[in-house]
Amino acid sequence: MTNRDNSLNQEISSYEKEDIVAAATNISYGAPIAILRMSGEGSHEKLLKTLKKDTKTTANVLKRARFLDLTTRDLIDDAMVVFFHAPSSYTGEDSAELHLHGSPFVARKALTNLQRAGFRLAEPGEFTKRAYLNEKLDLIESEGISNLITASSEQEWLSAKYLLEGKLQGKIKELHNNLLEVMAFLEAQIDFPEEEDTIAISRSILKEKAKKVFETIQSLITSYENGKITSEGLKVGLIGPPNAGKSSLMNALLEKDRAIVTDTPGTTRDYLEERCLLKGRLISLVDTAGLRETEDIIEKKGVLKAKEIAQNVDLILFLFPLDQDESTFKYFEESIKELKKTSHLTLFTKSDLTEKSFFQKKEGLFISAKTKENLDLLQDKIIEKIDYHTNAFKNSVSITSTRHLSLLEEASNKLETFLLHFETPHYEEILAFELREINDTLSRIIGSIHTEDLLEEIFSRFCIGK
């Protein structure tokens, strides 16, 4: 829970207080039930107008309810209803759910009936936005819920759950409080200047405190790699000369013929990205155009793109085919020099062919997309890397989102300036001002300070009904 002050409540517009309704389940034929969700101060009263008199409104208990046409009082559905009372509800407002028999026709009819009773249709993410505005969730938890809804793999679920667990919020609040302490001291200095000696001692303690905060922010920033790999999967780039067997390897790992394979060098000209599960772990494979000097304009662009991709992946697989000679290998080695800074594995492909003797001395894994030799071992090596990042993610407080990353980078830059200014005498007011700015930046991560644009960006990613 955030410690947002009451001023936030005054920002809630009348539109944000209207009574809203939306389908909370996918309305389709074949779904046994359809759930409509309602929220708002007047939601109970409006819903009750559509139910047979004497329907019970006991909190949190699913009750049978005859759902009637508002004007004709004809039965629309023999439904179930549950009422939630503010503040003990998802949104923090009075809210309710209506469980109908699943036909899309009935659900649409019911929605129209509820609109006539005074509800308006909810916007995407509006229920969760209200939960945030009513301080039932902070922004990080809201983002966690958004990720949880779209999770399609163990890793995505893990990182969403992690945001909901609140470890990151706890860490940010701790940093925030440490800076508050430093700020309180500086402000006291401004108001009650004390003896020089005591000041000197306390100042060095305070500088240490601010430095620790800086270091923690740095470690959160570096944790982004673990967080990103855990939540989005490991991005693996296949790089090699033309005809190295990159597309063949891509297809073998995907277990389907996704990329075109031919014996003409320069077959793949654009890049091709595909997500898949490798022994249950999410990865994203990127096949690229073979690296070589070429006059062909399209291929040339492909080669440039390949190099650009190689700089943005988490792991590069360098592929070199055993049926080519030493000079081609040397040219290739030269062209990938820069790329070797990224984590990589060297693969000698087409191991089913007779190899040129000079390769025997080279380090790398010998594989064949044709006979599948060592493909299992290659998969294990990739998985080892994923698990390394996932374990690091699980074992320490990490970040997963670019929003959190850019705010932490902003805070870190400001804190660096603050630490530089720290020794300057009579600078207390500026220092206190700088600290306040840093704390505001940290608050924006949790959402204790927000802008409408930010909320719009976060909550519009949700589906309607959440």
Q: Which residues of the chain form contacts with ligand GTP (CB under 6 A)?
A: 240, 242-248, 261-263, 265-268, 289-290, 349-350, 352-353, 368-370
To ligand GTP, the closest distance from the beta carbon of 372 in angstroms equals 9
Q: C-beta of 290: minimal distance to Mg ion in Å? A: 7
β 234-239/281-287 pair status: parallel
Residue type (1 letter), 203: R
Look at residue 133 and give the partner it binds from ligand GTP, Mg ion, none, a contact being a CB closer than 5 to 8 Å depending on partner kind: none
Residue partners of 253: CB distance under 8 A and separation at least 6: 276, 278, 285, 375, 379
Compute the distance between CA of residue 77 and CA of residue 23 in angstroms, rounded to an integer: 16
Residue whose tokens read 């959160």: 220
Residue number of the CB closest to ligand GTP reads: 290
Is 344 in a helix, a strand, or coil?
strand
Please state the closest distance from residue 305 (CB atom) to Mg ion, in A: 13
Q: Within 10 Å of residue 8's Cβ, how many Cβ atoms?
A: 17
Nearer to Mg ion, 92 or 240 (CB): 240
Residue 353 or 430: which CB sits closer to ligand GTP? 353
Residue pair 47/69 in contact by the 8 Å Cβ criterion: no
Q: Which helix (H) or strand (E) holds 155?
A: helix 154-165
Give the SS3 label for residue 234: strand
* Nearer CB in complex with Mg ion: 289/322: 289
Please report where in the chains the tokens 């410690």 appear, as a residue: 3
H/E stretch holding 95 reads strand 95-101
Task: Answer with the entry of Mg ion, ligand GTP, none that 92 interacts with (C-beta below 5 to 8 A by kind).
Answer: none
The SS3 assignment for 245 reads coil
User: Of Mg ion, ligand GTP, none, which one does residue 189 interact with (CB within 5 to 8 Å by kind)?
Assistant: none
Residue 248 binds what, of ligand GTP, Mg ion, none (CB under 5 to 8 Å, by partner type)?
Answer: ligand GTP
Q: Which does 262 bind (CB under 5 to 8 A by kind): ligand GTP, Mg ion, none?
A: ligand GTP
**295: partner contacted, choices Mg ion, ligand GTP, none (Cβ within 5-8 A by kind):** none
Specify the residue for token string 């409540």.
9
Q: Indicate the residue whose CB is closest to Mg ion.
A: 268
Q: What letter does residue 366 receive in the DSSP assignment?
A: E
23 φ/ψ angles, rounded to the nearest 5 degrees? -75, 130
381, 345 contact by CB (below 8 A): yes
Q: Which does 231 bind (CB under 5 to 8 A by kind): Mg ion, ligand GTP, none?
A: none
Nearer to ligand GTP, 168 or 261 (CB): 261
Between 103 and 284, name the residue whose CB sits nearer to ligand GTP: 284
The least distance separating Mg ion from the CB of residue 267, rounded to whole angstroms, comes to: 5
In angstroms, what is the minimal distance from the CB of 382 to ligand GTP?
A: 18
Question: Nearer to ligand GTP by C-beta: 292 or 436?
Answer: 292
Minimum separation from the CB atom of position 157 to ligand GTP (A)? 34
Interatomic CA distance for residues 89 and 85, integer angstroms: 6
Residue closer to ligand GTP by CB (options 317, 446) is 317
Chain positions contacting Mg ion, by CB under 5 A: 246-247, 267-268
